[in-house]
Amino acid sequence: MKTNRLPRVAAALAAIAICSADASRALAQGRCLTPPEKSAFEFRMLMTELMVAALTCRGVGGQDFSAPYAAFVERHRAATQSHATVFKEHFRRVHGGAATTQMDRYVTSLANEYSRASMSGTGTFCTQQGPLFERASTVSSAEVDRFAAERAASHPIGIPTCGEQKPAPQKAQPQAQNQGQPPRK
């Protein structure tokens, strides 16, 4: 009996993407983002999310976001260029001679993270992207960074902002007398 290998292939690709994302973030740990770098990372995340949706939904009846994506890119060309410069400079500052390799790894893992969301079903995924593109089509140049930050809030960058306080370690709670026992009613 012939089995469908697509679910296994998708699962394998998802596992590779998760490992890549974790590895890229692990390399960046211990470093921090300046406020302009944080904004550049958030903007890159938004652009990647929009790009993946536009590519995934291309040709899906009534949900082709290629034109709205192209319009967004054109409307925010100046922001894209300035954020790209800051984004690249962060990788130069943190990784020196390995900047291009590390930046490519990060960008690839980011795209893989967003593309995993589409693996559950293109039609459903594309339907869910409609509101994103509706909002993106109305964002002004003055609002684009705030919009990117709002979108990024649900997808943590994984690199702290310089000067942010790390959460204090939690103190151990005293052990309950009935440890291992269900709570009494």
| Tally of domains within the chain | 1
Looking at the domain assignment, is residue 85 inside a domain?
Answer: yes
For the stretch 103-147, pLDDT in tens is: 999 999 999 988 888 887 667 888 888 899 999 999 999 999 999
pLDDT, residue 166, reads: 52
Alpha helices (H) along the chain:
6-28, 35-57, 66-75, 77-95, 99-116, 122-136, 144-152
CB distance 64 to 130 below 8 Å:
no
pLDDT, residue 43, reads: 96
CB distance 111 to 51 below 8 Å:
yes
Eight-state DSSP code of residue 171:
P
Looking at the domain assignment, is residue 17 inside a domain?
Answer: no
- Cα of first residue to Cα of last residue in the chain, in angstroms, is 54
CB distance 28 to 103 below 8 Å:
no
Looking at the domain assignment, is residue 14 inside a domain?
Answer: no
pLDDT, residue 122, reads: 64
Task: Provide the residue-wise pLDDT of the chain in tens; the chain has 185 residues.
Answer: 444 444 444 444 444 445 445 444 434 444 889 999 999 999 999 999 999 999 998 877 778 899 999 999 999 999 999 999 999 999 999 999 999 999 999 999 999 988 888 887 667 888 888 899 999 999 999 999 999 999 988 877 788 888 765 544 444 443 434 334 333 43
Cβ density class 121-155: b for 16+ within 10 Å, e for less: eeeebbebbeebbeebeebeeeebbebbbebbeee
pLDDT, residue 178, reads: 39
Q: Which residues contact 151 (CB under 8 A, 6 or more apart)?
A: 42, 45, 46, 49, 132
What residues make up the domain containing 133?
34-152
